[in-house]
Chains A and B, each alone.
Chain A
């Protein structure tokens, strides 16, 4: 009798709990989980939106293996990630260190550096199209002032991707804010200890700041890798994957296949392969983190 009463109470509490989280749960099921399951099913189908889906087994996944643009898009994305993530983290860390000083107007500077992260991606991309203009753009104008003839950036198959990487590095707001929080969490007595031992700014940075920040660096690295792998807006607005597919990135290729060429099944297969790649990379990052991340 007592057990039955306890079970009833437990059941009641469980139901109440689920009811409380049901709005969020429904949102996840309808807008995230549901579409994910649908896209997994579609990846085994041929579907052009207009006609009903047709089951074709693993043909979409087999097609990926022989698709030259798939490997091109993957390579370009790795190139972009390999360029943007380290650069962004370095610049964000340096900015966070600078903004961690007690100087007048620091709030304004923090806001200014964070602004790119909250600005519309399309607007930023349009502005950077002009910044990277070979003739009249800001970057080449500055280079010309120093007697250097700047590259043709977005018009060149060699320089288009570096141009996008440069633009990607500019948006440091989110990792910077996280680094700032991390910096402010480092106990000051550690810096005092270095000063007492006769260390300078470099010793403080090398032996206190960096090691204590490794968990934050790791977190930022994982998040930035996941986000950067999904780069799309800048490519869509600025280069459309060109010139000559030199900036064709994975998600843009997926978009082309699914929404321009109406190959929803193939696009879904691409999406799941991307998920597996990012998942694998993230697991790898976690595995090797024990070699360099310091936990107190």
Chain B
């Protein structure tokens, strides 16, 4: 009987101590919504919690961007928002225009050296001021980013007697024709995407090439955030015509109806444009016999590159403003950058981290970094309603890819659609 009483007393004391510890530590819990890789997010959380024992980070990994967007909207409607969100770059201006985000100007101004680096990191800083600014105020910090590179199959290139990747549009066409073997259903190249998933990704297939022709698709007024479209300018039309000719006239770019899953893995396409976010996936899923390499994208009258990625923003309804800001600063910092890049396989979003291995010595990263250093950096222009308007533009691009509309008609329609949507 006595032993039983002692046992119960011990249990009660232990429970009391646990409760007291929680009260004494008074941990702040912040929630971070993001996509995977899970290991990267978990490691960032663990490192942050170790440095900040009074803070607990709850990470919620969503399976897709669509899921994250929907959940975020529901949380905003319900007034129970997460504290920090990793979202698409082009969400920032849209959400900021709806007053759904916390401005971060003051935070950046007070912590300039810490946040931007000393000297300020070029791409990191430009992302803040070029992508996350709406009507003069800043609403996000950079996270994960990527830019287009040309990836090519070394085996197929060797078979065609080609020793290097194409450097110009002419070479791209010339090599593409050599690499196309209809009897093997092998194509010189394919577009980034033709139809599926996010319509804005259809834009990638066009935008990469349009920059090389000095095409400007849209200009956004800094003060008002209002866009002016230039989709039917000759540079844009010529770019689309060039792409469509590659598909239907020179027949080395896979037409939409010939697309099949795993064409890259099955060595049915010799070169393609993608971003560094693909590298991790290729390491995991590419068959060992497939030798792939990275080269800068081919250029024309201009040598230009764009970059985009994901941002860290804080919903306006957060209940832990200070803690959220501190975590966002950390997650956007150099240490978290290296953690994230390690797990995702992509380039670090902090320029200064490119000097560290493997980014300083692995060919895929060295080529990517040199491309970014030597090409003219052009940022996409985001505006409120960007996703909806660009999805409409993507419809016209698709019509041209499917040969249902001439490039001129397609870009004229895109221009008319975009202008009328913004007017509404």
Contact = CB atoms under 8 A, between A and B. Distances in A.
B195 A260 contact: no
B359 to A, nearest CB: 34
Contact of A50 (B98, B195, B258, B402): B98
Interface string B390-421: 00000100110010100000000000000000
Nearest to B75: A49
A156 interface: yes
A135 B259 CA distance: 9
A202 interface: no
A135 B395 CA distance: 25
Interface in A238-286: 239-240, 242-245, 259-262
A67 to B, nearest CB: 11
Contact of B99 (A49, A51, A129, A244): A51
Given A49-B77, A50-B95, A157-B402, A152 B195 contact: no
Given A49-B76, A49-B77, A259-B73, A133 B261 contact: yes
A146 interface: no
A175 interface: no
A60 B314 CA distance: 32
Q: Which of A129, A134, A239, A262 has the most CB of B within 10 A?
A: A262
A155 interface: yes
Given A130-B261, A134-B260, A260-B387, A243 B185 contact: no
Contacts of A262: 73, 98
Q: Is the interface of A mostly helix, strand, loop or mixed?
A: loop
Nearest to A152: B257
Contacts of B395: 244-245
Nearest to A51: B98
B404 A244 contact: yes
A30 to B, nearest CB: 16
Given A133-B261, A156-B257, A157-B404, A240 B73 contact: no
Interface in A101-150: 129-130, 133-136
Given A134-B257, A156-B257, A242 B196 contact: yes
Q: Which of B74, B196, B197 has the most CB of A within 10 A?
A: B196
Contacts of B76: 49-50
A152 B258 contact: yes
Interface in B155-195: 185, 194-195
A48 B257 CA distance: 37
26 contacts: A49-B77, A51-B98, A51-B99, A130-B261, A133-B261, A135-B185, A136-B261, A152-B257, A155-B194, A155-B257, A155-B258, A156-B256, A156-B257, A239-B196, A240-B197, A243-B195, A243-B402, A244-B195, A244-B395, A244-B398, A245-B395, A260-B69, A260-B387, A260-B388, A261-B385, A261-B388
Given A50-B98, A129-B261, A155-B257, 19 more contacts: A50-B100, A135-B185, A136-B261, A155-B195, A155-B256, A157-B402, A240-B195, A240-B196, A243-B194, A243-B195, A244-B395, A244-B398, A244-B402, A259-B69, A260-B66, A260-B387, A260-B388, A261-B385, A262-B73
Interface of A: 48-51, 129-130, 133-136, 152, 155-157, 239-240, 242-245, 259-262
Interface of B: 66, 69-70, 73-74, 76-77, 95, 98-100, 185, 194-197, 199, 256-261, 385, 387-388, 395, 398-399, 402, 404
